[in-house]
Amino acid sequence: MKINKLKKDLIKIFVKYKLSKAHAKICSDAIINAELVGASSHGISRVKMYCDRIKKRVINPKPKIKLKKISHSIFHVDADNSIGFVAADIAIKRAIKSAKKTGFSLIGVKNSGHFGLSGYYAEQAIKKNLIALCFTNAPPAIAPFGSRKALFGTNPICFGAPTSSRVPFIFDASMSIINRGKIRLAAKTKTKIPKGTALDKKGQPTTNASKALKGVQLPIAGFRGSGLAWMVDILSGVLTGSDHSGKVKDPFDDFSGPQNVGHLFMVFKPNLFVGNFRQRIKENIKRVKNLPKIRGTSDILYPGQNKYKRYKKNMKGTIKIPHAILKDFENL
């Protein structure tokens, strides 16, 4: 599907589901960006879910989002159960404005929903020559170290910084070995997931995506990944006043109420301390790239390079949508 056509269709759908035109555009932009960077698990495959949640009144299409000023640098957003994209958009834009003025900004968001890719918000800050850290919690997916039941979300850690080139440094990784969105997409398209990434509900290893969704995703690096996921839950859930410790609702399966996801954004100027950040990070990246490589590796990529390549490539063409998802899409 052509990008412009897709954009128009998405806006039309969200407006039909009672979002304002401005909010519909925010959602459409975020979803198309996910498709363009190759993260289709966070793209159109989720549109039906968002619409279903609006229909069941667990996403508020006309939220009264409250922005509370705590200091010139610190703000708190009560998203009033908006679709996550809209709350996150308001928060990151405020964080950028505040960091430009004071050097640094810290913004917590409560009563929000799934906001798509963290890297999308980091990128907005980078475009204004800022560094960003973005955290969000998510419904249960990872078993805490020592437990056999999922409780932490995939709880991504995202860090973005400007570089000397057009390609920003964006690290954006979930604390599970495999991304939950990828398992969902595999379940929908009936493809297998890699070995050793998930257990079924009985605690047995599985490559069946549907069984994995009912079971447990394994955290990266044992207690370390478990600890990092816990940290993200505290920063984005406990600190902001959102739900946490397994209480965030699964957007696909649980319509008993709003998700109540929490996010935390930290944004600051790269030249706060010593200036010449772009020159310094240029040297940093150059030295890493010049290292001897392992067999089969021709270039050491920094986080964000692959996404940028896919983005550039996809911008020229059309967006491929799997048949099952296209059908959902047409029904909306």
Site for a second copy in 86-145 (CB under 8 A): 102-104, 106, 108, 110, 131, 143-145
Q: How far apart are CA 320 and CA 298, in angstroms?
A: 28
Nearer CB in complex with a second copy: 7/280? 280
User: Could you tell me the smallest distance in angstroms from the CB atom of residue 11 to a second copy?
Assistant: 32
Short-list 291, 156, 315, 275, CA closest to 220: 156
Counting every residue written for the chain, the total comes to 332
User: Could you tell me the smallest distance in angstroms from the CB atom of residue 113 to a second copy?
Assistant: 18
Q: How far apart are CA 47 and CA 42, in angstroms?
A: 9
Does 311 contact a second copy by CB under 8 A? no
Q: Which of residues 205-224 bind a second copy (CB under 8 A)?
A: 220-221, 223-224
Does 280 contact a second copy by CB under 8 A? yes
Nearer CB in complex with a second copy: 121/230? 230
SS3 of 171, please? strand
- What is the full DSSP assignment across 79-126? -TT--HHHHHHHHHHHHHHHHHHHSEEEEEEEEE---S-HHHHHHHHH
User: Could you tell me the smallest distance in angstroms from the CB atom of residue 30 to a second copy?
Assistant: 22
User: Could you tell me the smallest distance in angstroms from the CB atom of residue 5 to a second copy?
Assistant: 35
For residue 77, give the DSSP letter: E
- Single out the residue of 230, 249, 260, 307 in contact with a second copy (rule: CB under 8 A): 230
* CA-CA-CA-CA dihedral for 241, 245, 247, 248, to nearest 10: 70
Q: How far apart are CA 141 and CA 182, in angstroms?
A: 13
User: Could you tell me the smallest distance in angstroms from the CB atom of residue 148 to a second copy?
Assistant: 5
- Single out the residue of 51, 151, 185, 193 in contact with a second copy (rule: CB under 8 A): 151
User: Could you tell me the smallest distance in angstroms from the CB atom of residue 205 to a second copy?
Assistant: 14
- Single out the residue of 16, 55, 56, 70 in contact with a second copy (rule: CB under 8 A): 70
Q: Is 296 exposed, middle or buried (0-12, 13-18, 19+ CB in 10 A)?
A: exposed
Interface segment toward a second copy; rule CB under 8 A; list 90-98, 114-122, 171-179, 184-192 = 171-179
